[in-house]
């Protein structure tokens, strides 16, 4: 039996496009003589539609799409993920289901049992958990079909009290299929490989795993669908960060014969680079946007964001704006111009000195006798924000936010100023990671000027300002932030690990106090195991200190 894994890029709520993709693959595979095509979790509507699932019309569209796909499942079978209406009044109104189509009809439905409600996931908000488990029988084989999280309840501290495969294995299946919508982060690939391999070894069955690819707002799906033999060894691997369809012979798989070439994954920084490019591209294309703008300062953050945007959208669609003040150094302006020229972008320069002086003159009476401080610095940042938003409004460019995770964490940014933007490109990348991205971007030729990478970071909002005037050096800061945010350790635990107590308390206090800023920031492309936003939910008003 020939089985195709179809790793496709779906758009939430774009039923026409999603169904066309599915039907196109079905028709192609039918001509190739494939018996079964497997699509990803929630492939009909995209993952996760969130509160669209509360609208009856959205659910009806999902049902109509299922009926449409069924008409094309003639001479070929397929498994497709979609929401399913719960026929029982008690419980949630929907299931997260896998539909098995054969000979023009839905022959069986498999429902997801383990519903994640941690980090970015909130599936129990919408779905009821399955309690009945039955294998799919097709062409003389018994297939144990599960949905994403249903295979993740392994390890020393399982989240759930049951494992669907423990029930399905009682029917003596021949192999397993898992359909998933598993988002990317730079550690997730290792976890995914380990969990899936453990399942194959535990149940002594081959496993075919299909993941979706593409980005939906802040979530990026990397694809990387996999095939394992019953010993838990990888025998095939689909592409990362792009669509891919590959066909496998189940008889060969059960004999542990290698079925195809394994892709060679890039180093972690390369994965992050590809993820961010995909995140930008899909944010624009799926939203119907074409052109982008951003403030180009000559610093490392805006340089990296500009380079990523050019890779994602093309230089002809990226319009950086230089907004120098009286504190902007000549070398910063030159660095910004050199970057734009290296990338082939059409840039504009608008000095802001006269504008900010006008603000200061308007406030002169109220500020009389008071020393200059953060207020004047933020006027500069907000002036830039106003001008960039004017470009966005006038020309239809989407403003890219260029703040990094280190800044977001400690509140080193100006609300309605440099925190403006429709999408935060590197808001989940610590400053030290941004430097690694810059080196990666320059791996073949100098795109980001060397001086941008080597000079001391500065907001350039006052004379001779450096980031280190206000913050610990980024190497140290990022280590503490990683422990506090990703590892979720308390200040005391971080100090016990050897970090300086005053520095730790200062940093953690800054993180806690900046929650109100993060609450108002743009959606952040997620590339870490713990990003700001829906994956880290903290109260703004609170006195608990950890």
- Identify the three-state secondary structure at position 417: coil
pLDDT at residue 316 is higher than 90: yes
Q: How far apart are CA 353 and CA 366, in angstroms?
A: 20
In a domain, 360, yes or no: yes
Residue with tokens 């990226």: 318
- Identify the three-state secondary structure at position 150: helix
- What string of DSSP letters covers 426-458? STTS-HHHHHHHHHHHTSSS--S-HHHHHSPP-
Residue 140 is assigned to a ligand binding site: no
Average pLDDT of the residues in 295-304: 96
Q: Which residue has the higher pLDDT, 261 or 466?
A: 466
Task: Report percent pLDDT > 90 for the chain.
Answer: 87
Last residue of a domain, one of 421, 450, 470: 470
> b/e for 95-114, b at 16 or more Cβ within 10 A?
bbbbbbbbeeebbbbbbbbb
41 carries an active-site annotation? yes
The pLDDT assigned to 464 comes to 74
Kindly indicate the confidence band of residue 266, based on its pLDDT and cuts at 50, 70 and 90: low
Domain that holds residue 428: 271-470
Q: How far apart are CA 8 and CA 18, in angstroms?
A: 9
pLDDT at residue 411 is higher than 70: yes
In a domain, 514, yes or no: no
CB 391 within 8 A of CB 321: yes
Q: How far apart are CA 223 and CA 231, in angstroms?
A: 23
Instruction: Give strand ranges (E) for 59-162.
Output: 77-85, 94-102, 105-111, 136-138, 141-147
CB atoms closer than 10 angstroms to residue 85: 13
In a domain, 478, yes or no: no
Residue 316 is assigned to a ligand binding site: no
DSSP-derived secondary structure letter, 154:
-
The pLDDT assigned to 468 comes to 78
199 with 243, same domain: the answer is yes
CB 486 within 8 A of CB 405: no
- Identify the three-state secondary structure at position 286: helix
Q: How far apart are CA 430 and CA 364, in angstroms?
A: 38
In a domain, 504, yes or no: no
Q: How far apart are CA 120 and CA 533, in angstroms?
A: 8
CB 30 within 8 A of CB 75: yes
Cβ neighbours for 343, distance < 8 A, ≥ 6 positions apart: 306, 307, 310, 315, 318, 447
Residue 544 is assigned to a ligand binding site: no
The pLDDT assigned to 158 comes to 87
CB atoms closer than 10 angstroms to residue 362: 10
Q: How far apart are CA 210 and CA 192, in angstroms?
A: 12
Average pLDDT of the residues in 362-380: 93
In a domain, 166, yes or no: yes
Backbone φ and ψ for 236, nearest 5 degrees, come out as: -160, 155
> For the chain, what is the domain count?
2
The pLDDT assigned to 318 comes to 98
- Identify the three-state secondary structure at position 107: strand
Q: How far apart are CA 467 and CA 352, in angstroms?
A: 21
Q: What is the pTM of this model?
A: 0.94
Nearest to 128 by CA among 108, 145, 114, 110: 114
Say which of 29, 41, 102, 377 is annotated catalytic: 41
346 with 413, same domain: the answer is yes
Average pLDDT of the residues in 166-183: 97
Residue 468 is assigned to a ligand binding site: no
pLDDT at residue 74 is higher than 90: yes
- Identify the three-state secondary structure at position 33: coil
In a domain, 510, yes or no: no
382 with 426, same domain: the answer is yes
The pLDDT assigned to 253 comes to 74
Kindly indicate the confidence band of residue 517, based on its pLDDT and cuts at 50, 70 and 90: very high
Backbone φ and ψ for 407, nearest 5 degrees, come out as: -65, -45
CATH number at residue 456: 3.40.50.620
The pLDDT assigned to 252 comes to 77
- Identify the three-state secondary structure at position 153: coil
186 with 285, same domain: the answer is no
Q: SS in 3 state form for 456-495?
A: CCCCCCCCCCCHHHCCCCHHHHHHHHHHHHHCCCCHHHHH
Residue 308 is assigned to a ligand binding site: no
The pLDDT assigned to 332 comes to 86
Residue 182 is assigned to a ligand binding site: yes
186 with 323, same domain: the answer is no
* Residue pLDDT, tens place only, 15-37: 999 999 999 999 999 999 999 99
- Identify the three-state secondary structure at position 178: strand
Last residue of a domain, one of 265, 295, 327: 265
In a domain, 538, yes or no: no
Backbone φ and ψ for 3, nearest 5 degrees, come out as: -120, 130
Residue with tokens 């000095």: 351
112 with 192, same domain: the answer is yes
Average pLDDT of the residues in 56-63: 98
Q: How far apart are CA 54 and CA 337, in angstroms?
A: 49
In a domain, 476, yes or no: no
CATH number at residue 100: 3.60.110.10
At 12, list the tokens: 């939430």
- Identify the three-state secondary structure at position 414: coil
Query: CA torsion sign, 176 to 182 to 436 to 263?
Result: positive
112 carries an active-site annotation? yes
* Residue pLDDT, tens place only, 92-139: 999 999 999 999 999 999 999 999 999 999 999 999 999 999 999 999
Q: How far apart are CA 140 and CA 173, in angstroms?
A: 11
Say which of 21, 61, 112, 286 is annotated catalytic: 112
Q: How far apart are CA 212 and CA 282, in angstroms?
A: 13
Q: How far apart are CA 85 and CA 94, in angstroms?
A: 5
* Residue pLDDT, tens place only, 230-239: 999 999 999 9
pLDDT at residue 179 is higher than 90: yes
CB 111 within 8 A of CB 119: no
Residue 298 is assigned to a ligand binding site: yes
The pLDDT assigned to 543 comes to 77
405 with 440, same domain: the answer is yes
The pLDDT assigned to 438 comes to 98
250 with 332, same domain: the answer is no
- Identify the three-state secondary structure at position 215: strand
Q: Which residue has the higher pLDDT, 42 or 467?
A: 42
Q: How far apart are CA 40 and CA 8, in angstroms?
A: 8
Residue 118 is assigned to a ligand binding site: yes
The pLDDT assigned to 254 comes to 65
2 carries an active-site annotation? no
Residue 295 is assigned to a ligand binding site: yes
289 with 375, same domain: the answer is yes
Residue with tokens 């890219």: 400
Nearest to 126 by CA among 55, 216, 214, 38: 55
Instruction: Give strand ranges (E) for 218-345.
Output: 219-222, 226-228, 234-237, 244-249, 292-295, 318-322
Residue 407 is assigned to a ligand binding site: yes
Backbone φ and ψ for 300, nearest 5 degrees, come out as: -70, -40
Kindly indicate the confidence band of residue 256, based on its pLDDT and cuts at 50, 70 and 90: low
Residue with tokens 């990683």: 482
Say which of 135, 148, 306, 420 is annotated catalytic: 148
Residue 46 is assigned to a ligand binding site: no
Q: How far apart are CA 85 and CA 100, in angstroms?
A: 16
At 93, list the tokens: 């109104």
309 with 241, same domain: the answer is no
Average pLDDT of the residues in 509-520: 94
24 with 159, same domain: the answer is yes
* Residue pLDDT, tens place only, 451-496: 999 988 876 777 777 777 788 999 999 999 999 999 999 999 999 9
For the chain, the helix, strand and coil percentages under 3-state DSSP, each to the nearest 5: 40, 20, 40
Last residue of a domain, one of 265, 286, 304: 265
Average pLDDT of the residues in 321-328: 90
pLDDT at residue 424 is higher than 60: yes
397 with 446, same domain: the answer is yes
Kindly indicate the confidence band of residue 255, based on its pLDDT and cuts at 50, 70 and 90: low
Residue 16 is assigned to a ligand binding site: no
Backbone φ and ψ for 63, nearest 5 degrees, come out as: -65, -40
């Amino acid at each position: 039996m020939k089985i195709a894994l179809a790793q496709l890029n779906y758009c939430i709520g774009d039923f026409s496009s999603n169904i066309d993709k599915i039907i196109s693959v079905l028709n192609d595979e039918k001509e190739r003589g494939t018996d079964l095509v497997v699509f990803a979790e929630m492939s009909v509507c995209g993952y996760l539609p969130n509160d669209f699932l509360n609208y009856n019309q959205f659910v009806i569209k999902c049902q109509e799409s299922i009926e449409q796909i069924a008409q094309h499942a003639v001479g070929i079978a397929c498994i497709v993920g979609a929401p399913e209406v719960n026929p029982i009044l008690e419980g949630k109104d929907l299931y997260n289901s896998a539909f098995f189509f054969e000979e023009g009809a839905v022959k069986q439905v498999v429902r997801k049992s383990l519903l994640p409600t941690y980090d970015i996931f909130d599936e129990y908000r919408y779905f009821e958990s399955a309690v009945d488990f039955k294998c799919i029988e097709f062409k003389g084989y018994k297939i144990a079909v599960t949905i994403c999280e249903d295979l993740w309840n392994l390890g020393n501290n399982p989240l759930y009290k049951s494992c669907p495969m423990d029930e399905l294995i009682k029917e003596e299946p021949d192999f397993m299929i898992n359909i998933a919508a598993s988002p990317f982060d730079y550690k997730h690939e290792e976890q995914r490989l380990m969990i899936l391999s453990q399942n194959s070894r535990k149940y002594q069955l081959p496993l075919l795993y299909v993941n979706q690819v593409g980005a939906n707002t802040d979530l990026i799906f990397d694809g990387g669908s996999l095939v394992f033999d019953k010993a838990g060894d990888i025998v095939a691997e689909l592409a990362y960060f792009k669509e891919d369809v590959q066909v496998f012979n189940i008889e060969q798989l059960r004999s542990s014969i290698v079925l195809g070439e394994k892709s060679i994954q890039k180093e972690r920084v390369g994965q992050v680079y590809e993820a961010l490019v995909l995140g930008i591209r899909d944010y624009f294309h799926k939203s119907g946007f074409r052109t982008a703008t951003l403030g180009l300062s000559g610093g490392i953050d805006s340089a990296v964001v500009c380079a990523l945007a050019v890779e994602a959208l093309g230089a002809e669609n990226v319009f950086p704006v230089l907004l120098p003040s009286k504190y902007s150094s000549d070398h910063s302006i030159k660095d910004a111009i050199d970057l734009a020229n290296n990338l082939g972008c059409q840039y504009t320069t608008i000095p802001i000195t006269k504008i900010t002086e006008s603000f200061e003159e308007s406030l002169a009476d109220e500020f009389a006798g008071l020393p200059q401080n953060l207020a004047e610095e933020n006027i500069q940042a907000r002036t830039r924000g106003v001008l960039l938003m004017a470009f966005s409004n006038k020309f239809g460019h989407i403003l890219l936010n260029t703040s990094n995770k280190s800044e977001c964490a400690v509140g080193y940014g100006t609300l309605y100023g440099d925190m403006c933007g429709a999408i935060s490109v590197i808001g989940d990348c610590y400053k030290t990671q941004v430097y690694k991205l810059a080196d990666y971007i320059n791996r073949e030729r100098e795109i980001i000027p060397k001086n941008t990478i080597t000079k001391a970071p500065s907001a350039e909002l006052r004379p001779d300002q450096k980031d280190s005037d206000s913050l610990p050096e980024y190497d140290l800061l990022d280590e503490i932030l990683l422990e506090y945010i990703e590892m979720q350790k308390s200040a005391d635990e971080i100090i016990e690990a050897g970090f300086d107590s005053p520095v730790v308390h200062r940093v953690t206090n800054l993180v806690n106090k900046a929650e109100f800023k993060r609450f108002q920031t743009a959606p952040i492309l997620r590339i870490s195991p713990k990003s700001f936003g829906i994956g880290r939910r903290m109260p703004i008003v609170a006195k608990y200190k950890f």
